[in-house]
């Protein structure tokens, strides 16, 4: 399952789990349209991930110096913990909302979907990829979708906070375990150093200060869920071949 590193700096956040089993970058696999034509039934794995969320202010980072940068990093860390605690009781949870959005989007696209909550990939022998060999489902394909990054960013030279959700989707053949699709994309603010697809978020989820963001945590959580829903639509469209 995803490994969550410290939320202390933006660099650490960017380097967070990009595969389920390990903290390394996995290659993207575009939708295998020929094989996807026979995929009608999808087993969606619910990984039951925790709703960790980050709050990062990069607006002043360039001019703070080493000591100022350390103070800013600690402030970001504290704000992340405060925001995560504030949304802990949000219903639905970020994880549940992601699973529900992906499931519904796939159904709307004509797939038969079964949510599986008691199975998940294990770490492969190489320590860098995911092993699906122990997963047995009554479906044509197995899909895992997870969000290793979720939260709000105040970009450089800005005091506003906007959502950022990184989403990863991995589809494998249920019998052969061959990759059929493996995609990474950002919804909302996209880190320039990451060469992945990005999709705009809803513009109404913007907050003029961290105090406003934290005071409206429930609404901000809805903003992250909105990003997940946008991502779910993208996944369904990819798998449908649209």
14 occurs within a structural domain? yes
Q: What is the CATH number of the domain that holds 148?
A: 3.30.160.150
130 occurs within a structural domain? yes
Label residue 185 exposed, middle or buried (CB < 10 Å: 0-12, 13-18, 19+).
Answer: buried
How many domains are contained in the chain?
A: 1
Spell out, as residue ranges, where the chain has pLDDT lower than 50: 1-24, 61-71
What does the pLDDT read at residue 9? 40
169 occurs within a structural domain? yes
What does the pLDDT read at residue 72? 55
1 occurs within a structural domain? no
161 occurs within a structural domain? yes
pLDDT per residue over 179-228, tens digit each? Answer: 999 999 899 997 765 666 789 999 999 999 999 999 999 999 999 999 99
H or E, element range at 15? none
Structural domain range at position 77: 10-240
194 occurs within a structural domain? yes
What does the pLDDT read at residue 229? 98
What does the pLDDT read at residue 42? 98
3 occurs within a structural domain? no
The angle at the Cα of 204, spanning 199 to 205, to the nearest 5 degrees, equals 75
198 occurs within a structural domain? yes
């Amino acid at each position: 399952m995803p490994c969550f590193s410290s939320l202390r700096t933006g660099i650490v956040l960017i380097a967070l789990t990009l595969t389920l089993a390990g903290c390394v970058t996995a290659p993207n696999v575009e939708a295998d349209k020929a094989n996807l034509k026979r995929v009608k039934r999808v087993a969606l794995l619910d990984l039951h991930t925790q709703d960790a969320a980050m709050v990062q202010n990069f607006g002043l980072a360039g001019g703070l110096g080493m000591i100022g940068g350390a103070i800013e990093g600690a402030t970001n860390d504290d704000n992340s913990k405060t925001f995560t605690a504030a949304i802990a009781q949000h219903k639905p949870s970020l994880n549940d909302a992601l699973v529900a959005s992906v499931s519904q989007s796939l159904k709307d696209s004509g797939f038969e979907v079964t949510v599986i909550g008691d199975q998940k990939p294990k770490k492969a022998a190489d320590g860098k990829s995911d092993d699906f060999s122990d997963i047995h489902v009554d479906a044509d394909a197995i899909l895992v979708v997870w969000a290793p990054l979720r939260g709000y960013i105040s970009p450089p030279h800005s005091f506003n906070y906007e959502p950022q959700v990184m989403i990863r989707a991995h589809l494998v053949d249920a019998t052969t375990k061959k990759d059929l699709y493996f995609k990474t994309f950002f919804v909302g603010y996209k880190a320039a150093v990451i060469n992945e697809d990005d999709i705009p978020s809803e513009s109404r989820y913007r907050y003029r200060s961290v105090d406003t963001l934290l005071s409206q945590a429930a609404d901000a959580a809805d903003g992250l869920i909105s990003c997940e829903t946008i991502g779910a639509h993208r996944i369904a469209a990819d798998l449908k071949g649209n």
